[in-house]
């Protein structure tokens, strides 16, 4: 009769799961309005879920649940134990032994205080830390090494004067290129697929932006969490980029550099695949089902920041005639980093009183720059009724700036008028040079002073000019353009005249690696530096990225300057070395190579023998670790030498048996000298050895 042993096989499963039913979010507490202005929030979040194993003998279950993260702007207290992953994300850890019916019903609570993020300073030069470099690497779904993505990123960021301007341009491009489409809510697309689809939700906006940022050599990480949108609290994705410190970027809501307090960070990721994980142990286990994964978000308190009021809204004239043109402008004091959407809306009337071209504008605010200028040209209708006075209020709108109103009065009463005749002193100038705008002013009617001004995207100036009746006068404006290419300057008067002049700004000079200074020869372990001299011959400051030895450093080079950057050479291993050094920037590519040798101290050993038939001393020297240079071996007033020895080398001396002192001297490749001596004793040949030697010689000579 055969007997059988029954074997129970226990298995451990570790899986990442998304809930098998739709996760729901329940909202309680205080209502939130104007989420973009929320400065501080206090929340209580409850994670409520059920996980079930359909069959088998379940011994235990372990669950890691994503929860809000502790950070500088997000203070969190947890009700359960925590574990961390390799990226530093906190997870609530839940363990249950012998779950009843193979089911775990879990509940976890977090209390959170969230502050808005405002970036007021970015270091002009910085090095990317080792633990941040992983956010430069392409992943399965974020293909930053894809040719299309790299080419597009280069094109979008062309002409940028800082890394912040680069990421702002990338976020704006993604925001304008993609169409928000809720049908993408339950799919995970890679960056190339998003580029093809031209649509998506927050995950797709973030995926494409992160790919563009990494393709531009700017570290970026994918952030998953929650935010308060048009439909209340909802799952949300945004990103963070490293510009000397981590800076938030929400490409969907176009919050760049600044982030409202309704953004709750749950995890940071290298890729866009974000899931909880479950580990189960048991026998004959069936399917693992995440039946419930709900969140209850209770808003305990909310506070709002004020809209920014420190800006100037003005116009070239507030009292005009039909047919006049008006320049409206906003001067924004740049105290932080962000992207602003602004608009100027004229009054609604029939007939139309004032029209404005391109009412909506999108501007990048950079705290390192001078005041930001946004301007519009308005046209007063020439068909307004005579002998009537019209008042047209124009409204300035922005989510983050205080709304303001300008009242423009239009009447057909005779007013003074002038004719403007502007010209540029230099039709083509180099970046960093000063441009002169000469404005000829001819009085047509009236008398008294006239306000004359010029405005560009980054410069504004205005002054009063006395123009006598029937005469001419002039005004001169001097400024330094900051943008390459065709620049336009709008020249205006307070009497309703507007003219535009153009000139080209070209780049003169170059940025390059001037030379590399280093020792050609170094000993293993010796501390030695590579001095990299970078020259900027341009008349403007330039930002470059320096790549050397696996490090990436962002540098700001002042105009017409030379800087030296020192970096340690790798002397850990001997051998010939070639280190590549290259820089990149806007229209800047240069590379140089540092060739050097790292040597080690040669290890010298020796042995000897004596050939009685030839009457020669055979002194063998063995050299390891590195070459022994200028090796000299002396015996019996005879010196033999070799210029360079590595391995085994034998020296032959014609000497009779006896006692000798053998002296050795050598250098390492760095020129350091070493010496040693050995006593050699050559005794008389014993009779048996002599007989054997003579027999061998006889046989060889037969």
pLDDT of amino acid 691: 73
* 576-609 confidence digits (pLDDT tens): 999 999 999 888 889 999 999 999 999 999 999 9
Between CA 685 and CA 696, with CA 690 as vertex, the angle to 5 degrees is: 140
pLDDT tops 90 at residue 440: yes
What are residue 181's phi and psi, to 5 degrees? Answer: -145, 110
CA 219 distance to own-chain centroid:
4
Band (pLDDT 50/70/90 cuts) for residue 10 is very low
- Residues contacting 403, CB < 8 A, separation 6+: 307, 395, 396, 397
pLDDT of amino acid 495: 92
d(CA 264, CA 249): 13
State if pTM tops 0.75: yes
d(CA 240, CA 263): 12
Q: Are 513 and 583 in contact (CB under 8 A)?
A: yes
Furthest CA-CA distance within the chain: 143
d(CA 310, CA 400): 11
- Nearest C-alpha neighbor of 177 from the set 141, 150, 142, 153: 153
d(CA 664, CA 674): 8
pLDDT tops 70 at residue 18: no
Between CA 204 and CA 214, with CA 210 as vertex, the angle to 5 degrees is: 150
pLDDT tops 90 at residue 209: yes
Cα atoms found within 13 Å of the Cα of residue 512, Cβ hemisphere only: 6
Q: Are 167 and 243 in contact (CB under 8 A)?
A: yes
pLDDT of amino acid 506: 86
Between CA 142 and CA 126, with CA 581 as vertex, the angle to 5 degrees is: 65
Q: Which helix (H) or strand (E) holds 172?
A: helix 163-177
pLDDT of amino acid 612: 85
Angle between the N-to-C axes of helices 147-156 and 163-177, in degrees from 0 to 180, rounded to the nearest 10: 110
Q: Are 164 and 120 in contact (CB under 8 A)?
A: no
Mean pLDDT computed over 201-213: 97
pLDDT of amino acid 274: 76
61 to each of 8, 19, 275, how far by Cα in Å? 19, 16, 17
* 146-188 confidence digits (pLDDT tens): 999 999 999 999 888 899 999 999 999 999 999 999 999 889 9
Structure tokens at 362: 């999108």
Mean pLDDT computed over 354-366: 93
* Tally of residues, the chain: 702
Band (pLDDT 50/70/90 cuts) for residue 345 is very high
Q: Between 351 and 248, whose confidence is greater?
A: 248
Residue with tokens 């038939």: 613
pLDDT tops 80 at residue 34: yes
pLDDT tops 80 at residue 24: no
Structure tokens at 621: 């020297």
* 473-514 confidence digits (pLDDT tens): 999 999 999 888 899 999 999 999 999 999 999 888 889 999
* 73-122 confidence digits (pLDDT tens): 999 999 888 999 999 999 998 888 888 888 888 888 999 999 999 999 99
d(CA 603, CA 605): 7
Domains of the chain with bracketed CATH: 10-116+276-303 (no CATH), 117-259 (3.10.620.30), 306-413 (2.60.40.10), 415-505 (2.60.40.10), 511-599 (2.60.40.10), 603-688 (2.60.40.2450)
Share of residues in the chain with pLDDT > 70 (%): 96
pLDDT tops 70 at residue 355: yes
Cβ atoms within 10 Å, residue 437: 20
* 429-439 confidence digits (pLDDT tens): 988 889 999 99
Cα atoms found within 13 Å of the Cα of residue 2, Cβ hemisphere only: 2
pLDDT of amino acid 702: 67
pLDDT tops 60 at residue 320: yes
pLDDT of amino acid 11: 43
d(CA 178, CA 91): 33
- Nearest C-alpha neighbor of 239 from the set 198, 184, 202: 202
Mean pLDDT computed over 307-319: 92
pLDDT tops 50 at residue 20: no
Band (pLDDT 50/70/90 cuts) for residue 694 is confident
Radius of gyration of the CA atoms of the chain, in A: 39
d(CA 39, CA 52): 40
Band (pLDDT 50/70/90 cuts) for residue 199 is very high
- Nearest C-alpha neighbor of 153 from the set 171, 137, 176: 171
- Residues contacting 624, CB < 8 A, separation 6+: 602, 603, 605, 646, 647
First to last CA, the chain: 84
Cβ atoms within 10 Å, residue 356: 17
Q: Quote the mean pLDDT of the chain.
A: 90
Task: Region of 581 please: left (phi>0), alpha (psi -120 to 50) or beta.
Answer: beta
Q: Which helix (H) or strand (E) holds 535?
A: strand 529-536
* 665-691 confidence digits (pLDDT tens): 999 988 899 999 999 999 887 777 777
* 46-75 confidence digits (pLDDT tens): 988 888 888 888 888 888 888 999 999 999
pLDDT of amino acid 222: 97
d(CA 549, CA 420): 59
- Nearest C-alpha neighbor of 395 from the set 455, 471, 344, 440: 344
pLDDT tops 60 at residue 19: no
- Nearest C-alpha neighbor of 547 from the set 576, 575, 563, 567: 567
């Amino acid at each position: 009769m055969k007997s059988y042993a029954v074997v129970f096989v226990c298995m451990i499963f570790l899986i990442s799961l998304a809930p098998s039913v739709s996760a729901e979010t329940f909202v309680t507490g205080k209502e939130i309005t104007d989420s973009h202005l929320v400065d501080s929030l206090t929340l209580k979040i409850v994670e409520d879920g059920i996980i079930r194993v359909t069959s088998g003998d379940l011994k235990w279950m372990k669950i890691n649940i994503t929860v809000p993260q502790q950070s500088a702007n997000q203070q969190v207290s947890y009700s359960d134990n925590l574990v961390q992953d390799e990226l530093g994300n906190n997870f609530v850890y839940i363990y249950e032994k012998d779950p009843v019916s193979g089911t775990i019903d879990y509940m976890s609570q977090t209390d959170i205080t969230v502050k808005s993020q405002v970036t007021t300073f970015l270091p002009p030069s910085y090095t990317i830390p080792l633990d941040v470099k992983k956010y430069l690497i392409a992943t399965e779904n974020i293909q930053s090494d894809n040719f299309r993505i790299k080419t597009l990123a280069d094109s979008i960021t062309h002409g940028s004067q800082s890394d912040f301007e680069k990421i702002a341009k990338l976020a704006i491009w993604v925001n304008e290129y993609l169409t928000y489409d809720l049908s993408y809510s339950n799919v995970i697309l890679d960056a190339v697929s998003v580029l093809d689809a031209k649509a998506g939700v927050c995950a797709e906006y973030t995926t494409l932006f992160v790919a563009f940022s990494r393709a531009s050599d700017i570290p970026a990480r994918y952030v998953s969490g929650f935010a308060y949108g048009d439909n209340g609290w909802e799952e949300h994705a945004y990103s963070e980029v490293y510009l000397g410190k981590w800076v938030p970027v929400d490409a969907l809501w176009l919050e760049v550099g600044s982030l409202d307090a309704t953004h709750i960070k749950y995890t940071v990721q290298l890729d866009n695949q974000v899931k909880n994980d479950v580990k189960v142990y048991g026998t004959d286990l069936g399917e693992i089902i995440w039946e419930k994964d709900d969140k209850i978000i209770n808003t305990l308190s909310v506070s709002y920041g004020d809209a920014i009021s420190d800006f100037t809204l003005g116009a070239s004239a507030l009292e005009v005639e039909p047919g006049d043109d008006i320049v409206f402008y906003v001067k924004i004091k740049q105290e932080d980093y962000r992207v602003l959407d602004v608009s100027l809306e004229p009054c609604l009337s029939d007939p139309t009183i004032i029209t404005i071209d391109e009412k909506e504008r999108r501007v990048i605010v950079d705290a390192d720059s001078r005041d930001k200028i946004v301007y519009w040209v308005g046209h007063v209708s020439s068909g307004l009724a005579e002998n009537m006075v019209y008042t047209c209020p124009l409204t300035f709108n922005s989510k983050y700036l205080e709304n303001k109103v300008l009242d423009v009065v239009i009447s057909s009463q005779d007013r003074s008028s002038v004719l403007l005749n502007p010209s540029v002193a230099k039709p083509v100038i180099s970046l960093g040079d000063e441009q002169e705008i000469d404005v000829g002013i001819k009085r047509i009617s009236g008398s008294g002073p006239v306000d004359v001004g010029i405005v560009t995207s980054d410069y504004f100036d205005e002054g009063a000019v006395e123009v006598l009746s029937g005469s001419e006068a002039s005004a001169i404006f001097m400024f330094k353009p900051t943008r390459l290419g065709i620049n336009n300057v709008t020249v205006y008067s307070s009497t309703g005249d507007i003219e535009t002049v153009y000139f080209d700004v070209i780049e003169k000079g170059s940025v390059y690696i001037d030379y590399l200074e280093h020792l050609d020869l170094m000993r293993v372990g010796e501390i030695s530096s590579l001095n990299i001299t970078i020259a900027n011959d341009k008349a403007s400051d330039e930002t470059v990225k320096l790549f050397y030895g696996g490090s990436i450093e962002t540098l700001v080079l002042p105009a017409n300057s030379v800087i030296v950057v020192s970096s340690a050479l790798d002397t850990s291993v001997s051998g010939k070395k070639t280190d590549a050094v290259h820089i990149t920037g806007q229209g800047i590519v240069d590379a140089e190579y540092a060739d050097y040798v790292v040597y080690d101290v040669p290890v010298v050993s020796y042995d000897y023998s004596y050939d009685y038939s030839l009457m020669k001393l055979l002194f063998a020297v063995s050299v390891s670790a590195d070459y022994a240079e200028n090796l000299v071996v002396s015996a019996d007033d005879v010196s033999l030498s070799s210029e360079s020895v590595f391995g085994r080398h034998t020296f032959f001396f014609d000497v009779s048996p006896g006692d000798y002192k053998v002296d050795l001297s050598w250098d390492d490749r760095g020129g350091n000298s070493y010496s040693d001596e050995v006593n050699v004793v050559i005794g008389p040949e014993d009779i048996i050895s002599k007989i054997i030697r003579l027999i061998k010689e006889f046989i060889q000579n037969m």
